[in-house]
Amino acid sequence: MSERVIVALSGGVDSAVAALLLRRAGHEVEALHMSNWEEDEAGYCTAATDWQDARLVAEAIGIPIHRVSFATEYRERVFAHFLADYAAGLTPNPDVLCNREVKFGACLDYMRRLGGSCLATGHYARIEVGSGRARLCRARDRDKDQSYFLQQVPRTALAATRFPLGDLTKGEVRELARTAGLPVHDRPDSTGICFIGERPFRAFLESYLKAVPGPIETPSGERLGRHDGLMYHTIGQRQGLKIGGLARHAGTPWYVAHKDLARNALIVVQGHDHPLLQSSAFRTGPVAWLAPAPAAVLAASVQVRHRQAAVSCRLAWTADGAEVLLDAPLRGVAPGQHAAFYAGDECLGGGVILATLGVAGAHLDSSAA
């Protein structure tokens, strides 16, 4: 059945092929280009190039294109939380929040203002409809699967969303773009922060937040050096500590195990698989649940990073979130990360990690509080 589809056309190859496939399928297609970051003080934001590429793609496919700025919404609903989380010593993922608040929030509302029946994007994910609901599922191409970033998109938004690339590989997408003569068929993938672009992250962060130097210590309290600011470090990190070659310690690499906010201290340990880097359980805040009401204790699998292999777990619901018991320890779990829950290929939803519990014998408190 033909639909009036509004495609979020970014200027990249993925959204371009999404629009191409919908057009070939006989749908009434229009493009909507979002520009959500208006500062380009150092030339890192590619908004101008993105818009020109999106215009050329729309012209090549033969569809009208609209342009809108959600810069205010992005700053208020995404970027402000991003900065607050870093200031609190957390490890946020702005892409998850951007999908919920902007791409499938403000953009979806604008799609309806344009008279569209659904919104399409170039995400690598699938939506399966059955039993009266839309299910968010992994893409066929596991290497490109982006369901993790979609874990908090509301159920109502999923029902009005289309993912045309869900059954394709990246190579197939580029070949479709090339054979169709789309001008972005060989454009490199973007890997920067959502809408902000690829830029030196440390310099970007310190232009908004004041760094407070403090001690680097072992779990026993031995001082090894000084850090430039807790916000520059995350759990499991090895690079940038500048504490190698200590005479009293072996040459084994050091890793961040904990951020003591009360004392502004960075706690480090030696060894990639040190027990203090492993978590056997964690607690989340409110979970955005996409599936039917779950049982009080639910067997599932969980993923705390994009492209990380999912680990089987059990969820026990609390008054304000969930307690997650892992069947196998996970390394480098950090407060502020998003945990996405799965049943097979279906993404059941996700929530923000508030605190972690170490493996047996590891006594360092990993709470963000």
Residues paired with residue 358 on neighbouring β-strands, in sequence order? 279
Instruction: Yes or no: say if 64 and 31 are a contact pair by the CB < 8 Å rule.
Output: yes
Q: Which helix (H) or strand (E) holds 61?
A: helix 47-61
> Where does residue 316 rank: exposed (0-12), middle (13-18), buried (19+ CB within 10 A)?
middle
The number of angstroms, rounded, from the C-alpha of 281 to the middle of its chain's C-alpha atoms is 21
Active-site residue, from 45, 107, 137, 194: 194
CA atoms lying within 13 Å on the CB side of residue 213: 5
> What is the spatial distance between Cα 66 and Cα 220, in angstroms, rounded to a whole number?
59
347 assigned to active site? no
The number of angstroms, rounded, from the C-alpha of 362 to the middle of its chain's C-alpha atoms is 29
Dihedral sign, CA of 86, 90, 91, 93?
A: negative
> What is the spatial distance between Cα 311 and Cα 322, in angstroms, rounded to a whole number?
16
313 assigned to active site? no
The two three-digit tokens of residue 144, written as one number: 């490109």
Catalytic residue numbers read 98, 194
